[in-house]
């Protein structure tokens, strides 16, 4: 993200000598941390560049609203980043709330029924028959490995132990079975 160097110049209708030091401090912090803070905010914020600039400016506005910047002088970078992080979290929370307010409830009458129809049952039986036929086309050990993995939910090491073969062999047999079934059943997968 290309970040332009913008100068911050704070103007007040009511110049107070005590405020002048704080304003200079905030201007100096803005100049020193602006580009790094922009990148930090951009990583946390899924929005565009405009959102980054808004959070960045709000961060410095929050600093200016403080009665005293004395606590800021100890570790200014950490304090600025904490303020920016909290502003990003607030922004994301507001966006989330807006999205949930726009959520439409699910209405069963608007969606198809999931009941099994005679046609659906016939298609299911036909697909199951094709799967069985394709499984019969596998070598017995490959078919056994596939069935243990997919239908008995056994892990590869468990299958290897049960069939007295290596785990690598189980992996190879599973690859062969899956490739064979993908070729044979490509039109229904």
The pLDDT, as a whole number, for residue 34 is 87
**What local confidence, expressed as pLDDT, does residue 100 receive?**
66
**pLDDT of 103:** 65
Taking 70 as the pLDDT cut, the residues of the chain under it are: 1-20, 47-49, 100-113
Alpha-carbon distances of 117 from 102, 104, 114, 130, 172, rounded to whole Å? 35, 29, 9, 20, 39
Per the structure block, which two tokens stand in for 124?
């299911």
Contact (Cβ atoms closer than 8 angstroms) between residue 19 and residue 12: yes
Structure-token pair, residue 79: 């304090």
Tokens of 132: 């069985």
Is CATH 2.40.340.10 the right assignment for the domain spanning 131-184? Answer: no
List of residues 6+ apart from 137 with CB closer than 8 A: 180, 184
Query: What local confidence, expressed as pLDDT, does residue 108 receive?
Result: 57
What would you report as the CA-atom Rg of the chain, rounded to the nearest whole angstrom? 32
CATH 1.10.1740.10 fits 17-101, yes or no: yes
Give the C-alpha distances (Å, rounded to integers) separating 9 from 12, 17, 75. 10, 16, 23
Q: What is the pLDDT of residue 1?
A: 46
Q: Where are the domains of the chain?
A: 17-101, 131-184
What confidence tens digit (pLDDT) does each residue in 87-134 have?
888 888 888 777 766 666 666 566 666 778 888 888 889 988 999 999
User: How many angstroms from the chain centroid is the CA of residue 123?
Assistant: 37
């Amino acid at each position: 993200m290309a970040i332009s160097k913008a100068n911050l110049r704070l103007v007040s209708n009511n110049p107070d000598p005590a405020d002048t030091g704080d304003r200079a401090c905030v201007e100096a912090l803005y100049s020193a941390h602006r580009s790094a803070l922009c990148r930090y905010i951009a990583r946390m914020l899924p929005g565009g560049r405009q959102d980054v600039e808004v959070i960045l400016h709000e961060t410095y506005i929050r600093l200016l609203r403080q009665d005293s910047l004395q606590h800021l002088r100890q570790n200014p970078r950490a304090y600025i980043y904490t303020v920016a992080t909290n502003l990003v979290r607030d922004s994301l929370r507001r966006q989330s709330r807006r999205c949930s307010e726009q959520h439409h409830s699910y209405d069963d009458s608007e969606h198809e029924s999931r009941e099994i129809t005679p046609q659906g049952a016939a298609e299911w039986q036909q697909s199951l028959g094709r799967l069985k036929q394709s499984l019969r086309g596998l070598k017995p050990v490959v078919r056994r490995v596939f069935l243990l993995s997919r239908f008995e939910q056994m892990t590869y090491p468990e299958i290897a132990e049960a069939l007295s073969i290596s785990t690598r062999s189980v992996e190879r047999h599973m690859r062969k079975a899956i490739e064979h079934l993908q070729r044979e059943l490509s039109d229904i997968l």
